[in-house]
Structure 1
């Protein structure tokens, strides 16, 4: 069963995302329909408005986002050099390290002395395993395929959400019809569907408000610390807050890394990362 779901994940994931979006947007479409706006038109305008707003926001933050992405490798290199310097400074005055080096030199001398008296063994060849070279074309091809997959799934989610919104109560009426001929069965089915609908909409509203709060607070706190591209970090924190655990860890690690590159201070990096983790929890 798991293998089948993994194989069909390209279909089921957009389907579930479209279902969640349709639950979140259906109250607005219903409200517009009660104002004599056709359901198909209201759903189209709502989806296009959301996509247009997201596109405008991404475009306005694209320069800051590109600069932030470019700075990440430099931040990683600087952090690695700092850790290496810290490690070497700790090892420089260690007596245990000196003893270990002396023991290693003695062992090496003993091995060389023993190897000089031991005849060479014939028929034994040394195998050197070479690491595959970095191929830019393979990485570009992989990135292109990934981008095409994301675009395709976004289009699929958009159309699924639209058709679920314009269907209205069609699915609901079919379930009530399947429930049985009795009035009690139909009433119970309607109550269950109403409860599911209310819980889904309540959950989506809570998630939306929580993500909005996390994004706004993250942007304000990072701006108070003087971190560059605070608005980009706020948007990233708000969006990734929808991904449990992984999203908060990604924002915390990335913000701490960039803070270390900007301020050159490990304490400041820990302060920024700790504040991000505190906001997300």
Structure 2
């Protein structure tokens, strides 16, 4: 996360809140103007890949645009005409299904009301009878008996019979609104497509010369990635509707084309649309069939097709995610549906996705990307550290095992574990971590390292009352665990010459942890790696064992320990003259010593654990 993005609340100032309020008011009250413009913009992104394909074939800008719009318009008009005839046919056939519908309703009512009726009867049997309400006052007149209230006279109002002209006028008034809006969208679409390059130049000029690269990247994401996603989604939903119609026709369901088109159209509405389509199809099939077998079969077919498309086809076509989190899809549908009604519901995902893409390049829209994007603006190391503070040990280990299924433990240390530890060290030095959190961090790091890299060998017996080194030094604790299993020298000394890789440190908590994690990373690949603490009291198996060591990894020094590190490096050079002396400078923002000074005492400076593995394993293979 960038320094300027350290807090979302720094962005939400009073002026930003006022601006957001004005934008919301503009969206709501300006829907008559913004709806056609948004529809035309989304359609232009959907048609952009088709236009680019036609231009690659040899069409000019104008012919490619007109052919694309004409093709899309023809498809829409043709599909609308067919669906209109299908809808009229369904309306005409409804009286034929009236008996089946009444029978199904009575059966469902009987099933649902019977338990409640029985419960009501049982309660009425034990309840006390309430007194009857008093009768209304009666006035007796000579020769008649009437109540005190005057009885109203019934009046019946009959509307005049509608003529053919009135019916046509009413239909025209109903259809004029959608037809007029469709025409406006078509005109806007044509001009947006024709003025595509001009509009891009205007946006770049509006952003200013200093923001040209960022503006071009944002426009490229919108016109390439987003338009490709929209076109893929359109093709998938069209195919889904066609398959649904064909399968319903195979089941013998009448008007299958209507229900297939309805399911494909409603699939543009996230989550809720496909559920509504399934329910409508099930209700219709249940109404036309005397039994329940056909309705359940069609519903099972519909659910199976949706599962295959959602979990198999869509991930392969446009990735595992649309760029929005599942919660963001629901929230965007609620927001745009409340703003623009059914049109907003259909455009909710495309509009929100455009805003999320824009938020990656425009700082004012960055909160939208943070809140609604499928990947939060937190890297793996930051997520690891947050989970460590929250005590989510099982989640950390589960994600780590999944990561190790694709990568090595060395890469896990480089990308996640050690950067997370560096974050903890930074906040620890600034006093932002209390004692309980520090203990939790130590325990979690030790558990993760021990679980992901189990040490082979016979376990040693635990001594009662032994104080764990974990409270003081995680690396020393992990090394002690290995020594309990593998022995004092962490393995046999009867090994071939130049087969041992030694990981050395100055005995600080930092050096011990880095050395131990490096040992475990090397052992994962079968390297005989061992760790040692350099100091006056260090154990030494004897000068005759010096030839066993091929490489020594010495932790990179910080400025405070540079002189001590130089003495240790010189001692290692004198004691192991045939071994390569290597150090690893991990890029964690520490106040480390100058690299030029360090290079005078070692043979090589590496940058990561993975470089260390790449350095050691080929060397051992060549020696073997």
TM-score tier, shorter chain, comes to 0.7 to 0.9
Query: Is 1:152 the counterpart of 2:180 in the alignment?
Result: yes
Corresponding residue for residue 132 of structure 2 = 111
Query: Is 1:235 the counterpart of 2:261 in the alignment?
Result: yes
The whole-number CA distance in structure 1 between the counterparts of 2:223 and 2:259 is 33
Query: Is 1:13 the counterpart of 2:35 in the alignment?
Result: yes
Greater helix percent: which structure?
1
Task: Give a deviation string over 1:27-57, Cα, whole Å, max 9, x none.
Answer: 3334444555442333222212222233334
Query: Is 1:163 the counterpart of 2:191 in the alignment?
Result: yes
How many angstroms does 1:15 deviate by?
A: 0.8
Structure-2 change in CA distance of 1:205 and 1:96 (3 Å): closer
From 246, 265, 274, give the equivalent of 1:220: 246
Query: Which shows bigger deviation, 197-206 or 77-86?
Result: 77-86
The whole-number CA distance in structure 1 between the counterparts of 2:212 and 2:158 is 65
Structure-2 change in CA distance of 1:136 and 1:10 (3 Å): farther
Corresponding residue for residue 51 of structure 2 = 29
Where in structure 2 are the equivalents of 1:119-138 lying within 5 Å? none
TM-score, normalised relative to structure 1: 0.75
How many angstroms does 1:261 deviate by?
A: 2.5
Larger radius of gyration: 2
Task: Give a deviation string over 1:160-182, Cα, whole Å, max 9, x none.
Answer: 11000000211111222233334
Corresponding residue for residue 203 of structure 1 = 229
**1:243 partner SS:** coil
The whole-number CA distance in structure 1 between the counterparts of 2:159 and 2:247 is 40
The whole-number CA distance in structure 2 between the counterparts of 1:70 and 1:91 is 34
**C-alpha root-mean-square deviation of aligned residues, in Å?**
4.1
From 212, 220, 239, give the equivalent of 1:194: 220
The whole-number CA distance in structure 2 between the counterparts of 1:276 and 1:242 is 16
Corresponding residue for residue 262 of structure 1 = 288
**1:202 partner SS:** helix
Unaligned ranges ≥5, structure 1: none
Structure-2 change in CA distance of 1:164 and 1:54 (3 Å): same
The whole-number CA distance in structure 2 between the counterparts of 1:32 and 1:95 is 70
Instruction: Count the aligned residue pairs.
Output: 270
Query: Is 1:252 the counterpart of 2:278 in the alignment?
Result: yes
Structure-2 change in CA distance of 1:76 and 1:62 (3 Å): same
Structure-2 change in CA distance of 1:174 and 1:125 (3 Å): farther
Structure-2 change in CA distance of 1:263 and 1:199 (3 Å): same
Contact in 2 for aligned 1:251/1:276 (Cα 8 Å)? no
Structure-2 change in CA distance of 1:180 and 1:224 (3 Å): same
The whole-number CA distance in structure 1 between the counterparts of 2:214 and 2:168 is 55
The whole-number CA distance in structure 2 between the counterparts of 1:63 and 1:31 is 34
Query: Which shows bigger deviation, 229-238 or 132-141?
Result: 132-141
